[in-house]
Amino acid sequence: MNVAVVGLAFVAMIGMMLLGVPIAVSMALVGIAGGIAAYGAPFMDSIAPVVWGVQNENLLTSIPLFVLLGELLLRSGIADRMYIALSAWLGRLPGGLLHTNIGSCALFAATSGSSVATAATVGTVALPSLRSRGYSMRASLGTLAAGGTLGILIPPSVNMIVYGSLTNNSIGKLFIAGIIPGLLLTSCFMLYIWVSSVMSGDVKREEKVPLALRLATLRYLVPPLVVFGIVMGSLYFGIATTTESAALGVIAALAFVWRSGKLNRDVLRTCFIGTARVSGMILLIITAAFILNLAISLTGVAEAMTKWVTGLGLTAGGLILALIVFYLVLGMFMDVLSMQVATIPITYPIAVALGVDPIWFGIFIVLMCELGLITPPVGMNLFVVHGIRPDKGGLEDAIWGALPYVLILIAFTMLMLAVPGLVTWLPAQM
């Protein structure tokens, strides 16, 4: 298979996406056209079993369950109370409520699985308070956009499920592998806020909250921590599969929503409709990705690309450095999900052939998706936090506010490359 033909097909697919053709349609068209060009009309007969198999895959049932889990916690007011609790504990640090933004995003990410939902939820709660207390809007939007990216790194993560389904890797191991990098990246973000606040000379701190009141606010952190403990604990100890752990998380979330007095027909209707919309979109894209994968596997594209790249003499580290640049550029023009499903079928076989650990590569892909969320002009989190800002200023504030975190993400990826055990150690203990 000519590498130039592969490149042309990839460019055609990206071009259709940029022109507004739905992601699933773009991928399916390229896959069908490639398959028919190689095998003729009989290729169409092989598509039906693939579509049927994807739609009956038990593992993918976890996607609507995790989406529903986030919806329930979003509608129950847990995020508001969580922000109050963390502001009482983190507000005295240099940088004040900017630390609370990152901490709240990290904690909400541990139950949501969606970066956009994390940024929107915490931003809605935080921005009015930040504005009234005189915080820089640029710094505020930057922390919310960057903190929101933790939604796809700290498990559970829909993007990890997509990666696992496309590459046939353990979703449970991917979830567990994301814990240490997620906590470390959260710490890196907060360390930057601390240092930049001190160096700027304008140190923002909140008033000291009495210890008794701070201890009282800890009860607001119980719901997200309990849900996270149930989901990840059941996976780590082998008590439940990914889908079963998602179901356990939903049951726990329903209990907390009922406890808050907000479990009614309207809330459930909103949650179910939101879940159906998001899940339908994701599963349709995954189905199209599998059609493209079928064409790639039957035409030998992956093998040809692997031989071509390995023939260049690249080391695993060299490949990762090249992919950082590739995904950084691609993330400027594509949304996260389309970037994943369009590139993983090509990049994954190459990485594995060069000796890259599949679980490590999954976390790397998620980090690259995080970059895409906060790089203009198509960074979804930038548009989300800009859309909810109370003063209706320009988008450039969100872009410049998030720029330092782009550099932190790249530096953290280099740290992961130097110390792969940050990702692989915890899953190895399962």
Residues in the chain: 430
SS (H, E, C) 96-112: CHHHHHHHHHHHHHHHH
Q: Which whole number is the average pLDDT over 117-133?
A: 86
Q: What is the dihedral of CA 412, 175, 122, 185, to 10 degrees?
A: -20
In angstroms, the CA 389 to CA 143 distance is 13
Q: What does pTM read for this prediction? A: 0.85
In this prediction, residues 358-369 reach a mean pLDDT of: 94
Q: Mean pLDDT throughout 258-269?
A: 89
In this prediction, residue 33 has a pLDDT band, given cuts at 50, 70 and 90, of confident
Express each pLDDT in 286-340 by its tens digit: 888 888 878 877 777 667 777 777 777 778 889 999 999 888 888 877 778 878 8
Number of domains in the chain: 1
What pLDDT shows up at residue 392?
75
Please give the Cα distance from 374 to 53 (Å, whole number): 35
pLDDT for 4: 64
Domain extent for 233? 3-428
Predicted confidence band of residue 6 (pLDDT cuts 50, 70, 90): low
What is the pLDDT of the chain when averaged over all its residues?
A: 86
- What pLDDT does 412 receive? 96
Phi-psi region of 314 (alpha: psi -120 to 50; beta: other; left: phi over 0): beta
Dump pLDDT digits (tens) for 76-119: 778 788 888 999 999 889 988 999 999 999 988 887 777 888 88
d(CA 72, CA 266) in angstroms, rounded, equals 12
Tell whether the model's pLDDT for residue 196 goes beyond 80: yes
- pLDDT tens sequence across 397-414: 999 999 999 999 999 999
pLDDT surpassing 80 at residue 371: yes
pLDDT given for residue 5 in this prediction:
64
Residues 6+ apart with CB under 8 A from 297: none
| 1 pLDDT tier (thresholds 50, 70, 90) | very low
pLDDT at res. 226: 92
* Through-space distance between the first and last CA atoms of the chain, rounded to whole angstroms: 41
